[in-house]
């Protein structure tokens, strides 16, 4: 068996407890090359022969000792019945990473902050970062070169614009980040007396990147629950939910309207009947729906009809949209209890969720990414910094 085959089996490995057993395994099969590790299958049932070489006899622990315990009287191919899970598309993960450029310089790292949380294939990270995490088990590390086309794409001339200086704000300076009318973030690349050059390419566009990643936590979607909240402009509520321990994913969008797949402009017209909403995926072992309702009430005024702050229109209504009968029951109890805390009656719409269309990409995690003024706000778990609604 080639050493490459042994290495490929390493990903499906489980730790074997005890050096004496490990030594015995080494005597039985030359394919045990990793101290205290034994090749394992993805199934939970024991096998009776080595998956690499076919050795069938269980090892003994020495001349004077009896055969290994019953659980160990199997080939080293499976030393325990624990099923090792590996990251797949649709899984929710926490990942520590360090990103470097071709010259070895570090452009980003999570090692001094919370690990990055995202859904594999959910579009929050670049495709090449998804690639680096796929197939890993908790605790495993991997280093991957990500070409530009799987990172931030090639640098494009059509993503730049030259504007006459007379038409540009006088305070613009080179290197300043600005937001375009379509929501894209751009950099002022050049300022002269005659013109201003705006570059909407990502700062890492055209560059090959290397990521060293470690899978800290893996959660299968079947173990998570979903909730949908509407509390005015969705930027602020989303950041509030991002900060809740146990929330693994948030997405802003449009719900409970009359037309399929609306755009932001259509929703803002007030003709589609949709509410701006935040959809939250959370781990019920770490938080619960009642706790999320408390965050919902803290982030907006549930007595204000079709209006939150300076935002007016039915798309800014207060709403709770249920995925299960249990959510409805809990919400009715919590809102009835909360009513005494307000002078005016609560006008929150409560209904079963009826469709959810994800908003345009520039709206997602908007305040975390800098908001309208390019000033990023923390989404770290437990953060209680005041939320600036527009950035």
Return d(Cα 195, Cα 164) in angstroms, integer: 4
Return d(Cα 17, Cα 138) in angstroms, integer: 18
- For 85, other C-beta atoms within 10 Å of its C-beta total 13
Token match 């470097």: residue?
A: 100
Choosing from 50, 75, 233, 389, the catalytic residue is 233
Return d(Cα 24, Cα 230) in angstroms, integer: 61
* Contact status, residue 10 vs residue 34, Cβ threshold 8 Å: yes
In 148-180, which positions are buried (b, 16+ CB within 10 angstroms) versus exposed (e)? Answer: bebbbeeeeeeebeeeeeeebeeeeeeeeebbe
Known catalytic residue at 233: yes
- N- to C-terminal Cα distance for the chain? 59
Dihedral sign, Cα of residue 85, residue 89, residue 92, residue 94: positive
Catalytic residues: 233
């Amino acid at each position: 068996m080639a050493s490459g085959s042994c290495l490929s089996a390493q990903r499906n490995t489980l730790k074997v407890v005890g050096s004496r057993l490990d030594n015995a395994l080494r005597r039985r099969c030359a394919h045990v090359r990793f101290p205290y590790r034994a090749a394992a299958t993805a199934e939970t049932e024991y096998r009776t022969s080595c998956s690499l070489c076919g050795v069938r006899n269980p090892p003994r622990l020495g001349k004077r000792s009896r055969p290994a315990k019953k659980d160990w009287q199997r080939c080293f191919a499976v030393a325990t019945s624990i099923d090792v899970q590996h990251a797949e598309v649709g899984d929710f993960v926490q990942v520590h990473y360090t990103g470097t450029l071709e010259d070895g310089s570090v452009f980003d790292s999570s090692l001094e902050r919370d690990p990055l949380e995202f859904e594999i294939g959910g579009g929050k990270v670049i495709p090449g970062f998804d690639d680096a995490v796929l197939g890993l088990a908790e605790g495993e590390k991997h280093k991957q070169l990500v070409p530009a086309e799987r990172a931030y794409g090639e640098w494009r001339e059509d993503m730049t614009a030259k504007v006459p200086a007379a038409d540009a704000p006088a305070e613009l300076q080179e290197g300043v980040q600005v937001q375009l009318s379509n929501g894209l973030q751009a950099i002022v690349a050049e300022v002269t007396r005659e013109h201003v050059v705006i570059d909407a390419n990502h700062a890492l566009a055209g560059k090959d990147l290397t990521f060293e990643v470690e899978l800290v936590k893996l959660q299968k979607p079947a173990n998570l629950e979903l909730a949908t909240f509407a509390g005015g402009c969705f930027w602020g509520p989303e950041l509030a939910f991002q900060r809740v321990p146990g929330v693994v994913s948030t997405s802003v969008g449009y719900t409970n309207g009359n037309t399929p797949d609306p755009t932001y402009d259509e929703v803002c017209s007030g003709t589609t009947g949709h509410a701006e909403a935040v959809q939250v995926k959370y781990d019920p072992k770490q938080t619960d729906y009642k706790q999320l309702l408390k965050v919902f009430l803290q982030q907006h005024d549930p007595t204000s009809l079709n209006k939150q702050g300076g935002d007016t229109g039915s798309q800014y209504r207060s709403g709770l949209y249920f995925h299960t009968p249990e959510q409805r029951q809990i919400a009715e109890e919590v809102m009835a209890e909360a009513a005494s805390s307000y002078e005016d009656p609560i006008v929150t719409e409560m209904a079963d969720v009826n469709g959810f269309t994800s908003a345009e990409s520039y709206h997602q995690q908007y305040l975390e990414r800098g908001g309208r003024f390019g000033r990023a706000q923390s989404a770290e778990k437990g953060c209680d910094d005041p939320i600036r609604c527009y950035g």
